Amino acid sequence: MSTSEIVTVDLSVMRYDITLPLFEGRVAIDGVKLNPVKSSSMINQEDPKLKAGDFGLMDLNIGYFLPAIEAGWEIIGLPIFSKRKPAYQLIFCHADAGIRTPKDLAGKRIGSRTYRTALTVWARGLLHERYGVDFANVQWVLQAKELFPVHATDLKIDYVDESKNMSQRLIAGELDALITDISDTKMFENLESNPKIKRLFPDYIQEDLDLYNDTGIFTPVHMIVMSRKLDRERPELAGKFYAAFEKAKALAYDDSLSDRGGFSVVYLREQLKEQFSKWGDPWKYGIDANRSTIDAFIKYNVEQAMIRQAPSYADIFAAATLDS
């Protein structure tokens, strides 16, 4: 391919160490120039460019992935799970709510930022499947309404304003439990230091490792999607993108193992080596290595009425990545 045929592709700016080599220019993609752009990983309102496929690559919260495809949006997935967060550490309960086991969540008032963010979908699915939690009579307390429909007529939802965040509502006793993604230092401090609040799983680290050992699932919350329009026009690009992300991850691991990662974590190299010994590569990419994860997430989306029916892999992943 000549220089004149180089295509410029927008790529969401990401702060992950495993994608940093892409933005540093250390990973070349034949025939492609990446253009870093700022974009949200959430879909809280109609996005004409995303809907029409007028974008390049996007780091997307996977809670919106399957509903957007079912709604006909011009996106297609790459099996590159760019961000993973353990679900069990983010389930908090009020000490006076009588929640001693997961099953005690039944019939309670449970708060979340939104109903379909990836972390909340994962937590509901895992709690139901592995612990027998019945969510049928739960009263959900949410702050943001959904763009894509939830195909269930019996959901009980109260929408509240943002005069208080969900941690404040839990501490005040307005909620019995909280299941939501938290990326805020102050919220963590408020929840972890308040004697009125406890975690559903005090030893959540072991619970997450047990889940991984039992099922191979370390819950992804973001993945890379590309324009379906671009995939139709240039079907060879998806495979190139996949290979580039794999190379970037390998370089990032080597940076840390070579003790030049640049992160302010004491003994980062030793901690990463210990992680590999326990988990292997928890950030593994590809369909084959993530089949149990993908199948579980599709199943939970159907069970929770996020989508009407389960799609095939060919419906949701770029053809060039189906053998990954």
The pTM is what? 0.95
Whether residue 205 sits in one domain with residue 59: no
3-state secondary structure of 140: strand
Mean pLDDT, all residues of the chain: 95
Backbone angles phi, psi at 72, to 5 degrees: 90, 10
Q: Residue 163 has what pLDDT?
A: 92
Whether residue 225 sits in one domain with residue 210: no
Separation CA 91–CA 99 (nearest Å): 12
Backbone angles phi, psi at 25, to 5 degrees: 80, 15
Of 182, 215, 248, which one is at a domain's C-terminal end? 215
Asked whether the beta carbons of 317 and 79 are under 8 A apart, the reply is yes
Tell me what the mean pLDDT of segment 202-210 comes to: 96
Of 162, 185, 215, which one is at a domain's C-terminal end? 215
Separation CA 274–CA 279 (nearest Å): 9
CB atoms within 10 A of CB 3: 7
CB atoms within 10 A of CB 13: 11
Whether residue 182 sits in one domain with residue 253: no
Domain count, the chain: 2
Structural domain harbouring 14 = 3-84+220-321
Spell out the residues 6+ positions from residue 192 whose beta carbon is closer than 8 angstroms to its own.
none
Asked whether the beta carbons of 124 and 304 are under 8 A apart, the reply is yes
pLDDT over 80 at 2, yes or no: no
Whether residue 101 sits in one domain with residue 169: yes
Whether residue 177 sits in one domain with residue 138: yes
Whether residue 112 sits in one domain with residue 202: yes
Whether residue 145 sits in one domain with residue 94: yes
Residues 254-265: tens digit of each pLDDT:
999 999 888 899
Of 147, 180, 215, which one is at a domain's C-terminal end? 215
Residue with tokens 């959540």: 204
Say if residue 193 is exposed, middle or buried (CB neighbours under 10 Å; 0-12, 13-18, 19+): exposed
What band does 5 get if pLDDT is binned at 50, 70 and 90? confident
Alpha helices in the chain (DSSP H): 20-23, 48-52, 65-70, 118-131, 166-171, 185-193, 204-215, 228-233, 237-257, 268-279, 291-303, 313-316
Asked whether the beta carbons of 226 and 76 are under 8 A apart, the reply is yes
Residues 95-150: tens digit of each pLDDT:
999 999 999 999 999 999 999 999 999 999 999 999 999 999 999 999 999 899 99
Residues 9-28: tens digit of each pLDDT:
999 999 999 999 999 999 99
The type of residue at 206 is: Q
Cα dihedral sign, 212-217-221-223: positive
Tell me what the mean pLDDT of segment 269-298 comes to: 96
What band does 52 get if pLDDT is binned at 50, 70 and 90? very high
Whether residue 120 sits in one domain with residue 54: no
Separation CA 56–CA 54 (nearest Å): 7
Whether residue 240 sits in one domain with residue 175: no
What band does 4 get if pLDDT is binned at 50, 70 and 90? low
Q: What is the CATH number of the domain that holds 40?
A: 3.40.190.10
What band does 1 get if pLDDT is binned at 50, 70 and 90? very low
Percentage of residues in the chain having pLDDT higher than 70 = 99
3-state secondary structure of 113: coil
